[in-house]
Structure 1
């Protein structure tokens, strides 16, 4: 995962969220983007309903019997303009379910 972050150190790549960087690193270990819990090279990658049942773009919370915690995603690392755009788009994403 550190290698994914190293690519950003030039200061030209902008800001990239941890989930994107971590997913790219784990895909190289064979992660299938199927929403299921997977076991890869001695690590467990849990389905999103365990730790992230909140869909930030839509604002929809889908807790399941697997849910252990909820990451509320305040996007504090994003610029104010990006956060405003997300807030404006949330009702549209909710209607379209993404």
Structure 2
């Protein structure tokens, strides 16, 4: 089972698990360092002290979030390709 069934099951399940992780990152703030709530809350705190730099700050917050989601999507794609090597789709 460990040598035959488990590798096939992991290959099948991993894309869904990674996709669910990316959705969780987008929908909730599970990762406190780069979660949406933390980013926006920190953005609000900074804008309250410097009211004239509001738009650039929110653009930076959006870019951090975009980069996090983009990197996770690329990592997921690489892992899926490595696991599907030799597989005919």
TM-score (norm 1): 0.26
More helix by share: 2
Larger Rg: 2
The higher relative CO (CA closer than 8 Å, separation ≥ 6) is in 2
